[in-house]
Structure 1
Amino acid sequence: MKALRRFTVRAHLPQPLAALERLSINLRWSWDKPTQDLFQTIDPELWKLVGADPVAMLGHVSPERLEELAHDEHFVARLAALAADLDDYLSRPLWYQQLAQVNDADSGAAPVLPNGIAYFSMEFGVAEVLPNYSGGLGILAGDHLKSASDLGLPLIAVGLHYRSGYFRQSLTADGWQHENYPLLDPQGLPLRLLTDAGGETVLVSLVLPDSAELFARVWIAQVGRIPLLLLDSDIPENDHQLRSVTDRLYGGDQEHRIRQELLAGIGGVRAIRAFTQIEGLAAPEVFHMNEGHAGFLGAERIRELIEAGLDFDTALTVVRSSTVFTTHTPVPAGIDRFPVDMVARYFGADPGGSSSRLLPGVPVERILAFGAEDDPTKFNMAHMGLRLAQRANGVSLLHGRVSREMFNNLWPGFDPAEVPIGSITNGVHAPTWAAPQWLELGRELLGTQDLSSLQEPETWGRLHEVDPGHLWWIRSQLREALVHDVRDRVRRSWLERGAADAELKWIATAFDPNVLTIGFARRVPTYKRLTLMLRDPERLRRLLLDPERPVQLIVAGKSHPADEGGKALIQQVVRFADQADVRHRIAFLPDYDMSMARTLYHGCDVWLNNPLRPLEACGTSGMKSALNGGLNLSIRDGWWDEWYDGENGWEIPTADGLADENRRDDLEAAALYDLLERAVAPKFYDRDERGVPTRWVEMVRHTLQVLGPKVLASRMVQDYTERYYLPAARALRQSIEPGVETEGPFGAARELALYRQKVHKAWPNVRVVEVDSYGLPDTPLLGSELTLTARVCLEDLRPDEVTVQAVLGRVDTGDALVNPVTIPMTHSGKTDAGEDLFTASTPLPVTGPVGYTVRVLPHHRLLAGDNELGLVTLAG
């Protein structure tokens, strides 16, 4: 008979072992191997059985074993040392605290450090025991938190607690993906409940249509120094329908989805307010949206400021100044869009008023305007994110360019290159993803247990000291461990699919620790082209079975439950891998998660990535492989486009722009086979007298040295801090100060809000009346001086409220300026007609066909840039 409900009961810990509770509940154990080793010592078999989960271990270990350990002086001493190390980690000054001592290059003073940063994401991949992630977005968010902790950032993260997580994947007998949603007991996870001083559970609530109210409690996952707040609607205070709001990650229809995003954004801000008040922490100054899912947080912050006495536009100015938006999608289809009518219903006005019931004081039409797009029936979450954030970025250099083109319509009149969306290339958390052997080698080379200097290129340069044979020994160890793991997983999968044990003797010798091993593991949307490797099945078969230079291929990945096309791709791979002649050389491993991923990154010699360029925003799986000495074999997309150098792997030539998709796939698949056959395999199997592939190992060494310091999430988080968090905190504090023309708190924000209103009103009548040029000889030469004078009608704007620029450069056959330079023009007086005169002189910067124009942009000291408002007037 089945239990109605399950819950976890933990054993009482003897006093000498009390610190085990603290070590188990802080997820730092997930990247601290000494702590993992301590828990494994309690019961190695049980540790394996519970999936290396300290909380589960304490829920299953016998009281007798705990009493035995309590009298084990060596174990108690190890426990005390690790508890002291955790305390030291949580309290000592780290990089962020040291920043306060560094003088700002511009001002000469210490930089403005945010008192706190709020980081919102719909998924977090911190550890496999907390399955709140589906793929790269969540793993990236988890690595962001871990590195923020290692660097000492005062960051608070916010997401949802999904009672069933994403899903567990298995395969049917015919290779079709089957989803299973296990119920997760939060009391059996490394979580604690947010309670008030009296021990009562804290609830946040949202008013929904028809006067329904959605309540959520808040679970806290402690990720080193970083609290991760997870909102949970599965509580008795909600009716049955609302209890299911947080049931699954990326499940349900649009109604379900918008409720999740309202809870994440609006409820998330309210959870932060409750948490910081109870914990006595400073309120966050900077808010970072990891994708647009939690975009409604900006509307909630506006409501707070209106309630505090600000008008809407001043409140918006304050919110924008302190908000960062990161986009991860390179295609419009990847953006969450809701029917405008649905959004209007959730933010419906009070009877007889225009203010929202959900957000009192906030006009409904202003909320709808945040998500406006070309289709008037749709509300675009990415557009809202961009309109609510003064700073925005993509997640690689290439993705930044793609994003500027994709969102160019929000800045009409600007070339894509001028759209104010930057880029910070993603990174990965080394202690989580690097194999213990590589971390131990790092400690040996550094002569210390402290790996914080991994961010320095000089540290990686010490790999020159390591014998090639030792590097190859590490790689071979990791490949052998992978092979054993793959055999176990293949056996379990075949048994789940209905095979008898007697049929599976072949698995004992399947895969070979000495064969070139290629990994391909990721989510399975169509653009990632899981089956490109099967484009020519016979050619792939020849590669796998080559008698001299064989290849073995490990494939894994989950398709979204609603994506029948993705499931069909998985089935194609499974059916090929099931064939008796190749099943010892290729396998599809079901239920891809962080644990499997780690083993794959450690053991694969080559990491394969063949998306349709440029649809991979970043693609951090290849970074994790590189961190373990794996060589990338990839289309030039995402991070690989900027960091491939010809010696750290191989570039698969791409047939970009080819209209015939089948022809494109044929060409790129053929290029992949050619590289494997003529470049990759020969290097791997070309050995010296010691059996070491010297050319291969030198590529491994080069990969570690060049990519090691670049792919780190610590580098990424430092980039976010210096380029976005610090400027956002500075902008917020400036907005709170008295303005130049307005007094009192928030005077500067009020001044900027009034300026925005003034500019938007005046701009339709701003025009460049005439442009004259002087000074050029009859035959202009490179460096000849060009003087431009522009007569400009500024309507009601002052000259200091605009920037007038001459734009000069080479022109193409359609007279479009190509890579132009901009030259500020100086105000030089007024005409008799009241127009303003602006002049500039500049040497001609290029040869060939050259052209120029003049443009006018808004300018204010509190704008992040003159392009921020998306307003520009061009001559002509």
Structure 2
Amino acid sequence: MKALRRFTVRAHLPDRLSALERLSTNLRWSWDEPTQELFATIDSALWEQLGRDPVALLGGVSPRRLDELAVDDGFLARLDALADALDTYLTQPMWYQEQREAQPSWPTGIAYFSMEFGVAEVLPNYSGGLGILAGDHLKSASDLGLPLIAVGLYYRSGYFRQSLTADGWQHEDYPSLDPQGLPLRLLTDSAGDPVLVSLDMPDDARLNAQVWIAQVGRIPLLLLDSDIPDNDHDMRSVTDRLYGGDQEHRIRQELLAGIGGVRAIRAFTAVEGLPEPQVFHMNEGHAGFLGVERIRELVTDGGLEFDTALTVVRSSTVFTTHTPVPAGIDRFPVEMVERYLGSSRLLPGVPLERILGFGAEDDPTKFNMAHMGLRLAQRANGVSLLHGQVSRGMFNDLWKGFDQDEVPIGSITNGVHAPTWAAPQWVQLARELVGEDLGSLSEADTWQRLQQVDPGHLWWIRSQLRDLLVADVRRRLRRSWLERGAAEAELGWIANAFDPGVLTVGFARRVPTYKRLTLMLRDPDRLEKLLLDDERPVQLIVAGKSHPADDGGKALIQQIVRFADRPAVRHRIAFLPDYDMSMARLLYWGCDVWLNNPLRPLEACGTSGMKSALNGGLNLSIRDGWWDEWYDGENGWEIPTADGLADEARRDDLEATALYDLLEKSVTTSFYERDENGVPQRWVEMVRHTLQVLGPKVLASRMVRDYTEKYYAPAAQSLHRTIEEVDGVPFGAAIELAAYCERARRSWPRVEITDVDSYGLPDTPLLGSELTLTATVQLDELGPDEVVVEAVVGRVDASDVLLDPVTVRMAHAGSPDGIELFTATIPLPVAGPVGYTVRVLPHHRLLAADSELGLVALA
């Protein structure tokens, strides 16, 4: 018989073991090895059987065992020490508190919104890299002491569990997750009743959500859950699955995440007595509606005019884009947005036409969530240097008249949370080199201490980790083949599948087309030859999920599976289903080489290769994402790219051939060349170099510090300046800026450079010769102090397009007869064909950059 409903009953802990409850429900245990070891001590077999889940363990362990532990002095001493360590971690001043003492303008609160969070396997609220990145952001923010509150949705079925059919086709399963059996607590009011967030929907419907709280170290993660009796059936299913359903389902999720997320923060901070966040960070455009909800608050509750409210919201909002392709952006039919936001019930005081303007794009029938994110944020960034460049090109049309490099989208390269992803063996080595306090690992000099470590010891660690991986691969292979219908009697070969002594290559990620899962199969005979080489064999582990609606991606998986099923190679190549954090961790630990072969430049960052590098893995990758900026010729191998080749099939052929050549002639050669002690000296030195050079760079602590210093702190400072009183008027500065922006936009069609004179150059100009320019400018309603006039000088191509120009601000030289004169003298910066122009941009002290409004007048 099948139960109607399942739920989790937690064990009653003896008083002396009550600290286990706190340790199990704060997800810091997921990156604190001593706490994990304590839970394993309770019942090691059950710990492994339940997926290393402390909450499940405490629900499944026998009362008799708990009674034994309650009088076990050794266990109690460890428990007390770990409980004290958690309390210290949660309360002691960290990096942020130390920095804020000297810089009190840093924000007292930061809100971080993401559609998914990969914090731990036990909370499967993620699908791939975006969620894992968000989880690592929270953990590092906790380690650094940031006053951050995170917001997302609680998906009752997570993403999906992946298995394979007998013919290798991906099958999805959506297990129902019981929040009561997870490390979550419900947000309740003073009477103990659940706090509900409510949104008005079309046709007088209402969407209600309760709020679960996952405590990620010092960071509360608020997860909104619509599966409650207060909702009709349609609304209960809004948070059923991550990235599931149609566009109707998706827009409801994004309205709940953005608008409901802001309301959840307001409720949470009121209940907990915490300061309201000053800075709001959108991790991708999914939560873009948070901006219009904040405008509504300021209009309806604060009494501000719409444009003043928009000015305040923009000053304190950060937007991070993760996609390098327009197809990766959520775009809704305008009619759908009108239906959900057209009445005044959901967002009173926020005109529909202004909302539609935020999401406007070239196609008037589409509403673009990334465009809305960019228009509602004063600061924006991509997630690697190359991705920042790609993003400036992709969104250049929002700043017409500006060169791509001037588009105000910066970059902060992603990072990974070392305590989560570094193998215990590396952590132990770090303690031996620098002591128990590993905070110094953020300093590049600390990593140079690896120079002291004997090559044999480094090789021993790498070999140990490969052993662990091979054992895990064999377990997963057996489970997968049994699920696909194989009999136990025909799986004897798995006992010797994969070899702890063979060069191991990993390829694991989501399976969209651009990541090219099957590039390795371009020449199957050559791949087979590499796998089965008598002297220098290769073994290949592949994993990844295709979106349930992407049959093309599923077909790619099937191609890999069918190749790997062949008896000739199945001991050397495997596709492992249900890629998740637990599988990923061992892959990053144990793979010698991490393979990544996307279509450049379509990989925004690619943090999987960072996690491998953190464990001494060498990257073999197309120069894309983070690898483009940090590859140095000694920390792995660059797969040459046939960028720009119109024939996609030929491009794949060329890049696959380059991949095979590198494996055959460089990678395997270095791995199998051994000294008299069996140590591959050249390989180990590349491992050492990788750790020394990439170790401090790939850390999420570096990333979060970068966000704090370059985005969060400036956003808080902008907010403080924007909400200042002027002449006793609250929000006077915001009112002033809003009025200036409106006046600048109104005047701009009539802002004109009517004349440019040049003089001072000799007949034969030389490098460094001085060029004097004088521009005559009509400014309509604007004053000369409300614009910037710039001379732009540089080398020109055959079409007179300026290349890498130098920009010099021109000085105001007077206002004869109602016109404005500006002048500048410039030493010629380059030799060869040189050209110049003059341009005008709006300028105000409260703008983050003169390009912010997207207005420019050219001579």
TM-score category of the 2 structures, normalised to the smaller one: over 0.9
Residue of structure 2 aligned with 1:663, choices 643, 650, 654: 650
Tell me if structure 2 keeps the 8 A contact 1:420–1:867. yes
Please give the alpha-carbon distance, in whole angstroms, between the structure 2 residues aligned to 1:417 and 1:233.
43
> 2:549 aligned with 1:562, yes or no?
yes
* Displacement after TM superposition at 1:101 (Å): 3.3
Please give the alpha-carbon distance, in whole angstroms, between the structure 2 residues aligned to 1:676 and 1:731.
51
* Corresponding residue of 1:730: 717
Q: How does 1:556-595 map to 2 (within 5 A)?
A: 556-595=543-582
* Corresponding residue of 1:60: 60
Please give the alpha-carbon distance, in whole angstroms, between the structure 2 residues aligned to 1:843 and 1:581.
70
Please give the alpha-carbon distance, in whole angstroms, between the structure 1 residues aligned to 2:784 and 2:806.
22
> 2:741 aligned with 1:756, yes or no?
yes
* Corresponding residue of 2:354: 366
* Displacement after TM superposition at 1:738 (Å): 2.0
* Corresponding residue of 1:352: none
* Displacement after TM superposition at 1:809 (Å): 0.3
Q: What's the TM-score once normalised by structure 2's chain length?
A: 1.00
Question: Secondary structure of 1:179's match?
Answer: strand
* Displacement after TM superposition at 1:100 (Å): 2.0
Tell me if structure 2 keeps the 8 A contact 1:339–1:378. yes
> 2:671 aligned with 1:678, yes or no?
no
| 1:590-612 C-alpha deviation (Å, 9 max, x unpaired) | 00000000000000000000000
* Corresponding residue of 1:824: 809
Gaps of 5+ in 2: none
* Displacement after TM superposition at 1:331 (Å): 0.4
Question: Secondary structure of 1:656's match?
Answer: coil
* Corresponding residue of 2:41: 41
Please give the alpha-carbon distance, in whole angstroms, between the structure 2 residues aligned to 1:746 and 1:128.
45
Question: Secondary structure of 1:261's match?
Answer: helix
Q: How does 1:433-472 map to 2 (within 5 A)?
A: 433-446=421-434, 448-472=435-459
Please give the alpha-carbon distance, in whole angstroms, between the structure 2 residues aligned to 1:100 and 1:646.
39
Residue of structure 2 aligned with 1:145, choices 135, 138, 148: 138
Q: How does 1:180-199 map to 2 (within 5 A)?
A: 180-199=173-192
Please give the alpha-carbon distance, in whole angstroms, between the structure 1 residues aligned to 2:214 and 2:33.
19
* Corresponding residue of 2:308: 314
* Corresponding residue of 1:475: 462
Residue of structure 1 aligned with 2:163, choices 157, 166, 170: 170
Please give the alpha-carbon distance, in whole angstroms, between the structure 1 residues aligned to 2:564 and 2:650.
25
Q: Aligned AA for 1:337?
A: R
* Corresponding residue of 1:768: 753
Tell me if structure 2 keeps the 8 A contact 1:111–1:726. no
* Corresponding residue of 1:380: 368
Gaps of 5+ in 1: 103-109, 350-355
* Corresponding residue of 1:257: 250
| 1:157-188 C-alpha deviation (Å, 9 max, x unpaired) | 00000000000000000000000000000000
* Corresponding residue of 2:77: 77
* Corresponding residue of 2:845: 861
| 1:418-441 C-alpha deviation (Å, 9 max, x unpaired) | 000000000000000000000000
Question: Secondary structure of 1:178's match?
Answer: strand
Please give the alpha-carbon distance, in whole angstroms, between the structure 2 residues aligned to 1:738 and 1:400.
36
Q: Aligned AA for 1:752?
A: L
* Corresponding residue of 2:831: 847
Please give the alpha-carbon distance, in whole angstroms, between the structure 1 residues aligned to 2:73 and 2:49.
26
* Displacement after TM superposition at 1:111 (Å): 4.9
* Corresponding residue of 2:785: 800
Q: How does 1:92-111 map to 2 (within 5 A)?
A: 92-102=92-102, 110-111=103-104
Residue of structure 2 aligned with 1:531, choices 492, 497, 518: 518
* Corresponding residue of 2:271: 278
Q: Once superposed, what is the RMSD of the aligned Cα atoms? A: 0.6
Please give the alpha-carbon distance, in whole angstroms, between the structure 1 residues aligned to 2:393 and 2:607.
23
Please give the alpha-carbon distance, in whole angstroms, between the structure 1 residues aligned to 2:568 and 2:521.
15
> 2:322 aligned with 1:328, yes or no?
yes
Please give the alpha-carbon distance, in whole angstroms, between the structure 2 residues aligned to 1:252 and 1:769.
56
Q: Aligned AA for 1:320?
A: R
> 2:404 aligned with 1:416, yes or no?
yes
> 2:225 aligned with 1:232, yes or no?
yes
* Displacement after TM superposition at 1:743 (Å): 4.2
Residue of structure 2 aligned with 1:135, choices 128, 132, 154: 128
Q: Aligned AA for 1:567?
A: K
Question: Secondary structure of 1:629's match?
Answer: coil
Please give the alpha-carbon distance, in whole angstroms, between the structure 2 residues aligned to 1:122 and 1:612.
25
* Corresponding residue of 2:696: 709
Q: What's the TM-score once normalised by structure 1's chain length?
A: 0.98
Q: Aligned AA for 1:637?
A: D
* Displacement after TM superposition at 1:357 (Å): 1.9
Q: Aligned AA for 2:546?
A: S
Please give the alpha-carbon distance, in whole angstroms, between the structure 2 residues aligned to 1:256 and 1:728.
33
* Corresponding residue of 2:280: 287
Q: Aligned AA for 2:437?
A: D
* Displacement after TM superposition at 1:567 (Å): 0.2
Question: Secondary structure of 1:229's match?
Answer: strand
Q: How does 1:560-639 map to 2 (within 5 A)?
A: 560-639=547-626
* Displacement after TM superposition at 1:862 (Å): 0.1
Question: Secondary structure of 2:116's match?
Answer: coil
Q: Aligned AA for 2:133?
A: L
> 2:641 aligned with 1:654, yes or no?
yes
- Spell out structure 1 runs of 4+ moving beyond 4 A: none
Question: Secondary structure of 1:100's match?
Answer: helix
Aligned residues: 858
* Corresponding residue of 1:214: 207
Please give the alpha-carbon distance, in whole angstroms, between the structure 2 residues aligned to 1:48 and 1:260.
35
Please give the alpha-carbon distance, in whole angstroms, between the structure 2 residues aligned to 1:24 and 1:630.
32
Residue of structure 2 aligned with 1:542, choices 529, 549, 569: 529
Please give the alpha-carbon distance, in whole angstroms, between the structure 2 residues aligned to 1:358 and 1:792.
46
Q: Aligned AA for 2:183?
A: P
| 1:446-501 C-alpha deviation (Å, 9 max, x unpaired) | 1x211111100111000000000000000000001100000000000000000000
Please give the alpha-carbon distance, in whole angstroms, between the structure 1 residues aligned to 2:105 and 2:415.
25
Please give the alpha-carbon distance, in whole angstroms, between the structure 2 residues aligned to 1:492 and 1:684.
31
Q: Aligned AA for 1:7?
A: F
Please give the alpha-carbon distance, in whole angstroms, between the structure 2 residues aligned to 1:846 and 1:439.
51
Q: Aligned AA for 1:523?
A: R
Q: How does 1:327-366 map to 2 (within 5 A)?
A: 327-349=321-343, 356-366=344-354
Please give the alpha-carbon distance, in whole angstroms, between the structure 2 residues aligned to 1:785 and 1:421.
33
Please give the alpha-carbon distance, in whole angstroms, between the structure 1 residues aligned to 2:436 and 2:53.
24
* Corresponding residue of 2:2: 2
* Displacement after TM superposition at 1:299 (Å): 0.2
* Displacement after TM superposition at 1:745 (Å): 1.4
Tell me if structure 2 keeps the 8 A contact 1:810–1:817. yes
Please give the alpha-carbon distance, in whole angstroms, between the structure 2 residues aligned to 1:362 and 1:99.
38
Please give the alpha-carbon distance, in whole angstroms, between the structure 2 residues aligned to 1:53 and 1:528.
32
User: Percent identity over the alignment?
Assistant: 80
Please give the alpha-carbon distance, in whole angstroms, between the structure 2 residues aligned to 1:844 and 1:126.
54
Please give the alpha-carbon distance, in whole angstroms, between the structure 2 residues aligned to 1:506 and 1:583.
9
> 2:842 aligned with 1:870, yes or no?
no
Please give the alpha-carbon distance, in whole angstroms, between the structure 2 residues aligned to 1:492 and 1:437.
28
Residue of structure 2 aligned with 1:837, choices 821, 824, 849: 821
* Displacement after TM superposition at 1:112 (Å): 1.3
Please give the alpha-carbon distance, in whole angstroms, between the structure 2 residues aligned to 1:584 and 1:164.
34
> 2:515 aligned with 1:521, yes or no?
no
Please give the alpha-carbon distance, in whole angstroms, between the structure 2 residues aligned to 1:642 and 1:231.
38
